[in-house]
Structure 1
């Protein structure tokens, strides 16, 4: 078991000039060259990188480099958040590019939480270094699809390995809706259902350790 040696903050600039506040969580002892980039929930509902700190710290403690960042208009990043999450795809791509250049890796795992799942899912095939994708509570349901529906096909058609984690009481997506969506998906698909967990509950610190275990298990299977 390695211990985390802390984190450092930096700024990443996007192709359209937005400055993203980014934090890198580094382990004392590196287990793997792969870097995990975590994409936070919907900025317009208060989503920011701080919500993913627990998972990032947990990953660093297990020997993996983890990166969190505030998407445009969130936290201390510049720019304005978009309603549909399409501008934020650029943010994910910019951070991936920065990570591959500055942390000398050719292997990135993208992890998206809630609205961060469709946003990061749309970036998966746009970044060569991304080797897999984990969704924590992808909002596939009807109401959420009004905002994020145009993202679905980008991740469902990607040939890269995917893990979908969801609570069985997710208020945005039912288990049946998840299963129906994944029927048409390409590539290797895994699902993990957390019995009795609601959407926002799963975002809370109670589930951080479980999310870390699931993410690491998925990495080891790649």
Structure 2
């Protein structure tokens, strides 16, 4: 695995600090070689940053997949200011996806959002043609979190693109019942994976990176491999 630093400019002139994690081994299948996995970190205002996605990105690269992390606007070395609801950050994700498509020779992208990064990423899914699927790690569907991020729910629930929702059964922001009720109305292929006895922030920790990598690879492989 090799890592490259880069700066990505958004449509409204913000400069994002990003990392590209490239696999050191040749892709085992042709469908792996032209795809990328773009990760979206948790809520900027509460300290979310691309460093929290580093373990997952490294794990993906070690398994042969190109992965990207980036700091959304106002985080780390990225310019601009974070927005309270993540509305401006949707532009950041779209710009990173377009960068991957135009500069990294990929034509298929999987979006992976963690915590508050999940609803923000969900709003970008249908804005990028190259995005073929979506993975949520701890989507905050609960009532309190929806005050901030409820405006993003409709976009991902109505998207026809395949989606996987991963959540701990002790998630403090979303109950299993809330997750199930929300996903009843979701369009297209919808999968869920519950991790027994695990809380929201616990699942974000490095102890679960390997499990998240396995789930992400299993999902994207089912989308890309014509023989699966």
1:113 equivalent in structure 2: 114
Q: CA RMSD in A?
A: 0.5
2:226 equivalent in structure 1: none
Shift of 1:58: 0.2
Q: Give the total of aligned pairs.
A: 218
SS where residue 84 of structure 1 aligns? coil
1:128 equivalent in structure 2: 129
1:188 equivalent in structure 2: 189
Instruction: Please show how residues 36-75 of structure 1 align to structure 2 within 5 Å.
Output: 36-75=37-76
Deviations 1:151-171 (A, max 9, x none): 000000000000000000000
Q: Distance in 2 between matches of 1:118 and 1:184?
A: 16
Contact (CA 8 Å) 1:30, 1:64: kept in 2 or not?
Answer: no
SS where residue 122 of structure 1 aligns? helix
Shift of 1:105: 1.0
TM-score for both structures, normalised by structure 1: 0.97
Shift of 1:215: 0.2
1:7 equivalent in structure 2: 3
2:24 equivalent in structure 1: 28
Q: Distance in 2 between matches of 1:131 and 1:84?
A: 25
Contact (CA 8 Å) 1:138, 1:164: kept in 2 or not?
Answer: yes
Task: Please identify runs of 4+ aligned residues in structure 1 that moved more than 4 A.
Answer: none
SS where residue 218 of structure 2 aligns? helix
Q: Distance in 1 between matches of 2:5 and 2:201?
A: 27
Shift of 1:125: 0.2
Q: Distance in 2 between matches of 1:51 and 1:213?
A: 17
Shift of 1:220: 1.1
Shift of 1:29: 1.7
2:101 equivalent in structure 1: 100
Q: Distance in 2 between matches of 1:153 and 1:189?
A: 14
1:211 equivalent in structure 2: 212
Gap runs ≥5 in structure 1: none
Contact (CA 8 Å) 1:9, 1:21: kept in 2 or not?
Answer: yes
Gap runs ≥5 in structure 2: 224-228
